[in-house]
Amino acid sequence: MILPRSVRDDLIAHAREEAPRECCGMLLGRSDAIVGAVRAVNLSESPSRFLINPENHIRARREARAAGLEMVGFYHSHPHSTAEPSATDLAEASYADYLYLIVGLVGGEADVRLYRLTGKTFERMELVLSA
């Protein structure tokens, strides 16, 4: 899956801005590329969970359609752990075949990983950064 460096950098910036809370948002693109992201308000009171504001979710779908794109997935951060899906992430993921991007900030270093929800598990995908 292709990811522009500028989008990756935006996602990392969002994660750092929201730390120590998790950030969240939606990914826009096509079947082979993520071309943009739309930030969402995290409605969760917990610092280690996220709940995407439904208004932001609807707005992202509309923006994608208007731009001739699709909403291809979601992103969130793990400010205190690795960029691997947690048991909570898996339990609450409900869009099969969508992409789930996680930004881990363990030790201040950003680690960006991409997964696809296939059935009841996350499958790690290769990310290819583009200019």
Q: Which two tokens stand for residue 42?
A: 């995290």
**Which positions ≥6 away from 101 have C-beta within 8 Å?**
11, 27, 34, 73, 74, 75, 76, 112, 113, 114, 115
Strands 24-30 and 33-40: antiparallel
Residue 28 pLDDT exceeds 90 = yes
Residue in 17, 18, 22, 70 annotated catalytic: 22
pLDDT tens, residue by residue, 36-67: 999 999 999 998 899 999 999 999 999 999 99
**Active site includes 22?**
yes
Q: What is the pLDDT of residue 49?
A: 94
Q: Which domains does the chain have, with CATH numbers?
A: 2-41+66-130 (3.40.140.10)
Residue 112 has φ and ψ, to the nearest 5°, of -110, 120
Q: What is the pTM of this model?
A: 0.96
